[in-house]
Amino acid sequence: MKNIRFFRYLAYSLEILVFFILGSTPSLLPQIFGATPCILVALALTISVFESEIPAMVFGVICGVLTDLGFSNSIGTFTIALTICCFVLGFCSNNIITVNFLNVMITATVVITALLSLHFLFAIVLKGYDYAGSYFVNHYISRIVQTIICTAILYFINKFIYETLRD
Amino acid sequence: MKDFLKSNSVKFFLSTVFIVVLLSVFTSSIESNLLSSTVNSVTYPLSKVTAAATGDEDMTYAELLAEYEALKEENAQLRTQLVDYYDTLTENTRLWKFYDLKKEHPEYTLVPSVVLRKDSNDEFYSFTLDKGTTSDIAVGDPVVSENGLIGWVNEVDLTTCKVVTILSPQTSVGAIDSKSQDTGIITGSALYCDENLTTFTKLSAEHKVKAGDIITSTGISGLYPKGLIIGEVTDICYDTYNTSYYAVVKPYVDIRELKDLAIITDYTGQGEVLIKNGTGTQ
C-alpha cells in the first residue's frame, strides 16, 4: 500500500518537475494575448482534489515555491496562497464536495481567478506601475483563462495517475 | 468538525503556513538565497537541454521536414570531420556577434551567455542566463546584445542570473538623444512592453527629440557604460499623468526573442558615481 502511495507521489513530483521545466523553456509555449498559463497552479489544484489535506498541502507548497521562483528569487504570494488553498481543497474533496469534473472546474475557476487577481494586486498595483489596468486586460485575463483550460487537461492526467496508483 | 480543528493535520498545516510566511519575509530581503540557488542547481541541467532544444523561430511541419532532409544530407558529408566541429562553430558564431562591440570598446569585460529560461510568468519579458557568480557576474551588471543594451542583472546565484529588460518599469537608465543631446530616463511601460518598445521619459518641455533619433546611455551614474545604444525613437507623446513629454523607443533587437547575449562585468568608470555619492540612479 505504502509502496503504491510512494510511486503516486513520485509520479506527481516528476509531473511537477517536467511542467516546471517545460513552462520555463524559452520559446516553447506560445504566448496567447501576451501570457502563458500558470501550469503549476493548475497542477497543484488538480492534485489536491485527489489527495488528503497534508499531501495536498505539501504539493501546494512545492508548486507555489516553483511558481514564485518564476517571478523572482523569493517565495511569496503563490506559495502562501497555494499552501492554504491546497490544504482546504484536500480537506473539502475528502469530506464536503464530491470530486467530479464539474465541481473541480468550478472550484478551480474561483481559486485561479482569486489567486491571479491577488498576484496582480501585489505585483503590479501595489508597486505603483502606470497603466496597471492594461496589464490586467492584456495579460492577466488571458492567463486566467489559459490556466483554467490547463486545469481541465491536468484533471484527467492526475485522475489517471490517482486511479492507476490508488492505495 | 471540532475534532478536525483539533487534529494533528491542522497543527501541521498552521506550522507550515507559519514557516512559509517566515521564509517569504526572509527571502524577500536578500538578493540571492539558498532556496532559489538549490532549485536553479537542480533544474539547471534539464533547463540547459530544453533551452538548447528550442529554436529561435516557429516552423511549420513542412519546413521542419525540408530542413531535416537537408541536414541529413549535410550530415553525411560532414561525418568524417571532427566530432567537436559543430560545438566550435556554434561557439565562434556566438562570440563573433560580440567581436565588434569588444573591438569598439576594448575596456569592456564581456561574458558571453545563453538564455536558459524565459520567466514566462513575468509581464516584462525578464529571463534567466546561464552565468552566475562563478563567472564574476554581479547584481547590476549591464546585459547587451550585439545591437545594444538589453537590460541588467537583477538577481544572481552560483550558476544563473536573472535579467530585467529595458521593457520593464523596474529599469531606470540615464539616456541621451545622440542628435539633439536631450537627456532623460529610459524606463519600460505597460502600454508598450508587449510591442517590444520602451520609453524615454522626463523630457523637458523644450526638447528637440524627433522620430529616428538614436538613444544611448549617458553613463553618468556609473551603472551603465557611456554610449551603449538603446534604440531608435519612433514617436513623441505627452503623458497626462506626469504632465511631461516622453519618446517611444524601439530597441534594435526583439528583446522578447533573444538567445545569445553578453554580460558586461567590468568597464572603465564602473561604479564611480556610486562610490563618490554612496547612491545613484541607474
pLDDT tens track for A2-18: 688 899 999 999 999 89
A132 chain-B contacts, CB cut-off 8 A: 190
A124 chain-B contacts, CB cut-off 8 A: 123
Which among B12, B116, B121 is the top mutation candidate for probing chain A, defined by the most A β-carbons within 10 Å of its own β-carbon? B121
pLDDT in tens, A89-113: 999 998 888 889 999 999 999 999 9
pLDDT in tens, A42-84: 999 999 999 999 999 999 999 998 888 776 666 778 899 999 9
User: Whose CA is closest to A27, among B60, B257, B280?
Assistant: B257
**A54 or A26, greater pLDDT:** A54
CB A18 within 8 A of CB A125: no
Q: What is the mean pLDDT of chain A?
A: 87
Q: How far apart are the first and last CA of chain B?
A: 56
Q: Is the pTM of this model over 0.90?
A: no
State whether CATH 2.40.10.350 applies to domain B32-60+108-282.
yes
Nearest CB to B54; choose among A25, A54, A134: A25
Radius of gyration of chain B from Cα atoms? Answer: 23
- pLDDT for B281 equals 42
Whether B112 has its CB under 8 Å from any CB of chain A: the answer is no
- pLDDT for B224 equals 86
Quote the cell numbers at residue B147.
545591437
pLDDT in tens, B111-169: 888 888 877 667 788 888 988 888 889 988 999 988 889 999 988 888 889 899 999 88
Whether B254 has its CB under 8 Å from any CB of chain A: the answer is no
* Cβ–Cβ gap B190/A132 under 8 Å: yes
Number of Cβ pairs < 8 A linking chain A and chain B: 130
Q: How far is CA B82 from the centre of its chain?
A: 35
Whether B190 has its CB under 8 Å from any CB of chain A: the answer is yes
* Cβ–Cβ gap A83/B28 under 8 Å: no
What is the DSSP annotation of A39-79?
HHHHHHHHHHTTS-HHHHHHHHHHHHHHHHHHH-SS--HHH
* Cβ–Cβ gap B117/A138 under 8 Å: no
pLDDT in tens, B188-233: 988 888 888 999 998 888 888 988 899 999 887 778 888 888 999 9
* Cβ–Cβ gap A28/B54 under 8 Å: yes
A57 chain-B contacts, CB cut-off 8 A: 12-13, 16
pLDDT in tens, B10-31: 888 888 888 888 888 777 665 5
Whether B80 has its CB under 8 Å from any CB of chain A: the answer is no
**A34 or B80, greater pLDDT:** A34
Distance from CA of B103 to the nearest CA of A (A): 30
* Cβ–Cβ gap A61/B16 under 8 Å: yes
State the virtual CA torsion across B119, B120, B124, B128 in degrees, nearest 10.
Answer: 20
pLDDT at A132 over 50: yes
User: Three-class SS of residue B121?
Assistant: coil
- pLDDT for B98 equals 72
- pLDDT for B280 equals 39
CB B181 within 8 A of CB B207: no
Ordered by start, the domain boundaries in chain A are: 2-26+33-164
